[in-house]
């Protein structure tokens, strides 16, 4: 009985902490996130738009499913390391590392078929007739056939791009 209650407390506590680290407030409590990427997000459609639906950091950068989320959180322990040792604690250091950091995210989204995009933007429910001609043409062919995934074309939509010399698609 005691073990059961301890289990509830442990699991509840673990989950609460996990959820607390999965909020935008937590992300931008570090100046590295607040002063760089968060400020850039503010000018984009994922922050401010006509309908007021917005994406917060974990919506795009943390998988929603529990197993994937835990896997990502374990990877994120490296980011804690980076925070402690100040890998990107100045603007210059951040800019120097920006291409590397961006590539990590591009690879992650490429590998999981842009899962975080599709959590909201589901192809099943896309109405091509309400899209512009160019969007229709691209989505109904290469996206639908699976030849391309969201991130292949939509890089740099929520944050500024690093130097893209040599990056495919630029």
Interface positions with other proteins (CB under 8 A)? 43-45, 132-134, 137, 156-157, 160-164, 169-170
Q: What is the DSSP string of the chain?
A: -HHHHHHHHHHHHHHHHHHHTTSHHHHTTSHHIIIIIIHHHTTSTTTS-TT-----HHHHHS-SSHHHHHHHHHHTHHHHHHHHHTTT-SHHHHHHHHHHHHHHHHHHHHHTTSHHHHTTS-GGG--GGGS-HHHHHHIIIIITTTSS-HHHH-TTSSS-----TT-TT-
| Closest CB 70 distance from other proteins, rounded Å | 34
- Quickly count: other Cβ atoms within 10 Å of residue 38's Cβ: 19
- Given the complex with other proteins, which of 50 and 74 has the nearer CB atom? 50
| Closest CB 99 distance from other proteins, rounded Å | 9
| Closest CB 165 distance from other proteins, rounded Å | 9
- Given the complex with other proteins, which of 124 and 127 has the nearer CB atom? 127
- Given the complex with other proteins, which of 63 and 162 has the nearer CB atom? 162
- Residue 39 — φ and ψ, nearest 5°? -65, -35
| Closest CB 83 distance from other proteins, rounded Å | 25
| Closest CB 42 distance from other proteins, rounded Å | 11
- Given the complex with other proteins, which of 76 and 157 has the nearer CB atom? 157
- Given the complex with other proteins, which of 12 and 169 has the nearer CB atom? 169
């Amino acid at each position: 009985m005691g073990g059961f209650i301890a289990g509830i407390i442990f699991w509840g506590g673990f989950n609460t902490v996990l959820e607390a680290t999965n909020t935008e407030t937590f992300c931008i409590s570090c100046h590295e996130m607040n002063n760089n990427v968060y400020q850039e997000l503010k000018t984009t459609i994922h922050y401010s738009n006509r309908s007021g639906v917005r994406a917060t950091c974990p919506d795009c950068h943390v998988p929603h499913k529990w197993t994937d989320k835990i896997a990502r959180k374990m990877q994120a322990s490296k980011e804690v390391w980076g925070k402690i040792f100040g890998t990107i604690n100045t603007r210059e250091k951040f800019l120097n590392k920006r291409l590397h950091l961006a590539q990590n995210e591009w690879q992650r989204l490429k590998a999981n078929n842009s899962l975080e995009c599709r959590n909201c933007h589901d192809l099943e429910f896309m109405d091509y007739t309400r899209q512009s001609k160019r969007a229709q043409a691209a989505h109904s062919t290469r996206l639908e056939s699976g030849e391309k995934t969201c991130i292949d074309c939509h890089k740099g939509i929520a944050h500024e791009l690093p130097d893209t010399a040599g990056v495919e698609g630029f």
